[in-house]
Structure 1
Amino acid sequence: MSLNQQIESWLASRKKSFQLTNRPFITLAFAQAWDGSITTSKGESVALSCSASNQLTHQLRSLHEGILVGIETVLSDDPQLTVREWAGNNPQPIVLDSRLRMPPESNLHHHPDKKCWVLTVENAEASATPEDLAHEIIQVSRHKHDFVPLLPAMSLLREKGIESLMVEGGAKVITEFLKLGLADAVVMTMAPKFLGGYKAVGDLGITDIALVPHISPISYDKLGEDLIVWGDLKYRGKYSEPEK
């Protein structure tokens, strides 16, 4: 069985056994350098994945109903978030954008078959009128900070029919999903490069080593020039659970 087949089979099994009904099944999928960096020290984006790993990313997109990034990723990388290098359907593109900074010229405004969903906070002011927007604004109740609160945001996505979600970044978004124990699985592409830049995972606020999120069981294999690491994410030694 090829690496691509292994990951597809594993994801299918995990999604089938997922029991929570208040949010989607969530997979973190991102590429990083060998030292954990995803950008240079100046914040510049670098193409890290080899062609085979890039195909895997597109395969993963096809295996999820939604794909989510933060607004900083949109502003810096202008991603398309489509499936172009694998046979499959495009997932629903979703952006976390608390201040409604989505640029009208972005690729996500010209998606081939879906209108991008922008998750924002209540009373956020858009720079364009609703009639001019090429995306759908979904408001989430504002908490004490201006960031889009992930727990109610994920509940809204599930209500809108998103049962599986792929989170591609950036670093702040990946960190927040891990900090809240919301990610169920991870697929990491590790490129044989050293960037010495910003890391994929930031401060998780952990004071007890027993609370560190960990991958178990863990699988890994080489794909092209890269090392692919994947597995289930566990917190306190178990899968994530609904809030009590």
Structure 2
Amino acid sequence: MKVLVPVKRVIDYNVKARVKADQSGVDLANVKMSMNPFDEIAVEEAVRLKEGKGHHAANTAEEIVAVSVGVTQAQETIRNALAIGADRGILVQSDTDLEPLAVAKVLKAVVDEEKPDLVLMGKQAIDGDNNAVGQMLAALLDWPQATFASKVEIKDGKAQVTREIDGGLQIIEVTLPAVITVDLRLNTPRYASLPNIMKAKKKEIATKAVADYGADTAPRLKVVKVTEPPKREAGEKVADAAELVAKLKSKGVI
């Protein structure tokens, strides 16, 4: 089984995002970038499918391909995936930050070329928080989809996926090939060891251009303005419950 894992280069989750002075977007200058955390979980799960760790049978996955659509520096993100255990990488270079639909179209073209049995990806990227590419890709491919996966079991050409929903957990079964997007509690990604980091430097990363796939990536969305969330106001102290109720009534809360 071949597994394709899309990975995205985003602002590191420990970094506080700053809005550009002209409010056109987030300032990425001199900011630490890393692999989207949800994508890292997807890479880890794909490697576990190959290694037979957890509840997976050994060699459930035979090849893992990491693909990124983005700037040249996204090669570093792919190298991280290779260091965790992916076998090879594909970078589809784009100097502009493509919209979710455009990314989904590029990924569809990659899937058509690579013919994987499973696309395993993060449920969303922590930059735009769109939570859209996986669903769009499944629709374009006309493949089954399972989103927000907290557990994945592959057996007899099917995937049983436990999904996290508002009311608890939902278990569904999809026939492969399929698109599965992963949630936080699926696994804890490993730290890449130094030997594996060195091995990753020798693994292949094929560099392509968006134009090579003939996908329509014309923008359909326009960012009007990006602003920081309002700062929280200081709270008020009250002496007792009676004063609390009086305050709430005066503010029209009760």
Same fold (TM over 0.5): no
TM range (shorter): 0.3 to 0.5
Larger RCO (CA under 8 A, 6+ residues apart)? 1
- TM-score normalised by length of structure 1: 0.36
Point out the structure with max Rg over C-alpha. Answer: 2
